[in-house]
């Protein structure tokens, strides 16, 4: 019998907010939260509330110096005194700790066998936050803190993180660049903020080969994205055998989100969720956790998240069929990943 997926959201995430205009704001998720509380989803999902991540849990990824910097900047009059994109105000550190803690709550529920799949609908996002600095709307690196928690508390030694946000997850990559215990895969639009994630970035030391970057061209859409991820994830999961799959789920590659020039449709997010469910079922006892990152058009964000949730609600099925894409196949030509993995 399939377990109900876990969902986590909390109105306290609205508290990270300023009067000035920002793409990353509480309005991104208000309607989405309301919909998930409605009759269509209320009895089909297991709803959870976040806890606040402890200082020790945050410092498993971030330096104490960075936390001290944040404390200094949250009390300044200018919310952009720390970074020109990443605003800070009185409630920011608490809300960021609640975001990270929400991910830990769902991870613990998955590891305890209470749920197989989960979606942490948190904010602020996290994948740009590096050990010593925040950037790109990100304060604490939620998915990295979760992976560290899985290693330290639950003893996992093979964790796969897929980041399909349209921007490269530079912060997550930097945390795990030299370890083989966390495999990081990012597909993102090339030459876009934060201007990292080149294909030559493959990891260092013991982590060499455990980072795969797939920078893609403008105008790539469902066909190209599904082809690339099916090929790469299929090969990597079969050989690496992750014990859990984490997803930095950014929805800013949607064709109706103006922040990028990628043309994914709402349907693609449902399809990639089917693929990830299939791979998690084959490799890691269905352990699969989505963590919200970007997505700045509230309408397309809500539609895409709900498509993902609807896919999580369906019984595990066959791996989605994939049509060959010559344009996407060229991305893999002479890619350095071939020195480490068969895809």
Record the tokens describing residue 61, joined without a space.
């990824």
Q: Cis bond leading into 191, ω under 30°?
A: no
Q: What are phi and psi of 271, to 5 degrees?
A: -70, -45
Q: Is 214 helix (H, G, I), strand (E, B) or coil?
A: strand
| Other Cβ atoms closer than 10 A to 153 | 14
Record the tokens describing residue 44, joined without a space.
């089909």
Record the tokens describing residue 60, joined without a space.
């498993």
Q: Is 194 helix (H, G, I), strand (E, B) or coil?
A: coil
CA angle 26, 31, 33 (to 5 degrees): 80
Whole-number CA gyration radius for the chain: 18
Cβ-based burial of 317 (10 A; exposed 0-12, middle 13-18, buried ≥19): exposed
Distance CA 123, CA 205 (A): 33
Tokens 């305890």 correspond to: 112
C-alpha closest to that of 135 among 102, 168, 95, 158: 168
Distance CA 184, CA 162 (A): 6
Distance CA 330, CA 190 (A): 14
Distance CA 76, CA 79 (A): 7
Q: Is 156 helix (H, G, I), strand (E, B) or coil?
A: coil
> Is there a catalytic annotation at residue 128?
yes
Q: Which of 128, 149, 254, 335 is catalytic?
A: 128
Record the tokens describing residue 26, joined without a space.
């509480």
| Other Cβ atoms closer than 10 A to 249 | 29
Active-site residues, by number, are: 128
């Amino acid at each position: 019998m399939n377990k109900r997926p876990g969902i986590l959201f909390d109105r306290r995430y609205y508290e990270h907010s300023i009067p000035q205009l920002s793409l990353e704001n509480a309005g991104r998720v208000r309607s989405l939260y309301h919909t998930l509380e409605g009759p269509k989803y209320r009895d089909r999902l297991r709803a959870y509330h976040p806890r606040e991540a402890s200082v020790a849990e945050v410092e498993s990824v971030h330096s104490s110096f960075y936390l001290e910097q944040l404390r200094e900047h949250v009390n300044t009059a200018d919310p952009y005194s720390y970074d020109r994109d990443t605003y800070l105000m009185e409630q920011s550190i608490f809300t960021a700790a609640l975001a990270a803690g929400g991910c830990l709550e769902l991870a613990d529920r998955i590891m305890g066998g209470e749920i197989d799949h989960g979606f942490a609908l948190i904010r602020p996002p996290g994948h740009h936050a590096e050990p010593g600095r925040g950037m790109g709307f990100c304060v604490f690196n939620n998915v990295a803190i979760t992976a560290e928690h899985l290693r330290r508390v639950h003893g996992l030694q093979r964790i796969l993180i897929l980041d399909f946000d349209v921007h490269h997850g530079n912060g997550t990559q930097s945390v795990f660049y030299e370890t083989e215990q966390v495999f990081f895969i990012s597909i993102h639009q090339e030459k876009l903020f934060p201007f990292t994630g080149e294909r030559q970035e493959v990891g260092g030391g013991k982590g060499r080969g455990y980072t795969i970057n797939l920078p893609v061209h403008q105008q790539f859409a469902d066909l190209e994205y599904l082809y690339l991820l099916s090929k790469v994830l299929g090969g990597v999961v079969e050989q690496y055998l992750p014990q859990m799959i984490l997803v930095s789920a950014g929805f800013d590659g949607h064709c109706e989100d103006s922040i990028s020039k990628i043309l994914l449709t709402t349907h693609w997010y449902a399809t990639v969720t089917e693929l990830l469910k299939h791979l998690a079922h084959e490799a890691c006892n269905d352990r699969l956790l989505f963590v919200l990152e970007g997505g700045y058009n509230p309408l397309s964000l809500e539609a895409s998240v709900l498509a993902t949730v609807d896919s999580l609600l369906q019984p595990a099925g066959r791996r989605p069929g994939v049509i060959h894409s010559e344009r996407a196949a060229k991305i893999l030509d002479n890619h350095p990943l071939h020195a480490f993995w068969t895809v």
